[in-house]
Amino acid sequence: MGSTRRRDSDIPAPSNPDSTCTTVRWTVACILVTCAVLVLILPWPLPYEQSIEDIMQERASHLHEQCETIPTLGNFSLPAPRTDNPNHPYYNYFLEPRHRLLWCAISKVASTSWMYQLNRWADVPQEKIAFYARDLKALTRLYYPTPTRADVEQIKRDVETPVVRFLLVRDPFDRFVSAYEDLIVRPQSDNYRNLRRFIFREVYGVDVPVAVVQNATSPAPSFSDFTEFVLRRKNVRDPHWESYYNLCDPCFLQPTVIVKLETYDRDVAHLLQLLNHTTTGTGRYDNARLNVNHHRTANNDASMGRSKSTLDRLAELTGDQFERLYHRYELDFRLFQYDASQYFALFRED
């Protein structure tokens, strides 16, 4: 057995104590640095992630709170009080009975896509929808009559077979700029081509200013001109730039689901779950993102101009115009939790 044991003379002598300490310190330092780097670069889960159900509840609760608070502030030029007439029609409301959905249509916020969807749910052939592509609202009304105030009140009271009340919104200034780009810069109908002259006449007193004729083959009012026209002519209630508050009376509708264009896919997926939609057959959701009024291709004629970002367009306004424009849409910003600070920063004096 003695031959199987290691002799004391075979054990190496310990190294220099100072060198050993230095090695240990460097090893510990390397481990700490590695851990710090991993903490920074690895996708560690957040301690709390808000569920889509909580997000929708928060949006609806915020809207309700604002509807209760705003009338008491006294610094809003609110429209005339809403009628209590039970027969008052809500022309932008669409009740889809198959999926128990009540939707208020807002132009420039995927309204064409949802008109298409409602027509498909009504079993309207795609060829017919394509034929009426420029007036889908009229086609949709053939299958979904206009609900009255009494109808909506009854829907809100029905707790046994609840109806999902649905609004789809986007940043109010993004929508306003989109209306200008699609309807004024690149109009696709005679109505909006003629509107160009009305805008010039309102701002300059002539159909088309001489300077505009000399510098453009397809004269379009500037964004500043368009904004001034909208601010002055409050009687022109175009649905493409009318406020959400006026179009949908959200404080009366009390939507249970508020979808935002900025988080469209996630929000719509939640909405469809609530509707118990099917992916096949006559009840399927087509997810068609129709764009019949938009012509923002890369091959746009140079004379028609190219789309600019919302910040770029707002930067074309004077400070006074911006203040008036924000005041016009302030309710929409407040009701639907949109932050306008980035826009105010454009006009902040350093």
Residue 349 has pLDDT above 50, yes or no: yes
pLDDT score, position 299: 38
pLDDT score, position 302: 34
- What are the tens digits of pLDDT across the range 143-195? 999 999 999 999 999 988 899 999 999 999 999 999 999 999 999 888 999 99
Contact 218/197 with Cβ under 8 angstroms?
Answer: no
pLDDT score, position 113: 94
pLDDT score, position 343: 96
Residue 39 has pLDDT above 90, yes or no: no
Using 50, 70 and 90 to split pLDDT, how confident is the model at 28?
Answer: low
- What are the tens digits of pLDDT across the range 294-311? 444 333 333 334 468 999
337: left (phi over 0), alpha (psi -120 to 50) or beta: left
Of 21-25, 169-173, 291-295, which one has max mean pLDDT?
169-173
pLDDT score, position 5: 45
Q: Mean per-residue pLDDT for 119-137? A: 93
pLDDT score, position 216: 56
Amino acid at 246: N
Torsion of CA 248, 250, 255, 258, to 10 degrees: 80
* Mean pLDDT, rounded, of the chain: 83
Which range (19-23, 77-81, 182-186) has the least confidence? Answer: 77-81
Residue 2 has pLDDT above 90, yes or no: no
> Where is pLDDT greater, at 32 or 19?
32
Half-sphere exposure of 226 toward its Cβ, with a 13 Å CA cutoff?
24
Contact 155/102 with Cβ under 8 angstroms?
Answer: yes
pLDDT score, position 279: 43
Q: Report helix angle 223-232 to 190-204, nearest 10.
A: 80
* Percentage, residues of the chain above pLDDT 90: 60
pTM: predicted TM-score of the whole model, two decimal places: 0.79
> Where is pLDDT greater, at 303 or 34?
34
Residues 6+ apart with CB under 8 A from 198: 229
Q: Mean per-residue pLDDT for 29-35? A: 72
Half-sphere exposure of 136 toward its Cβ, with a 13 Å CA cutoff?
25
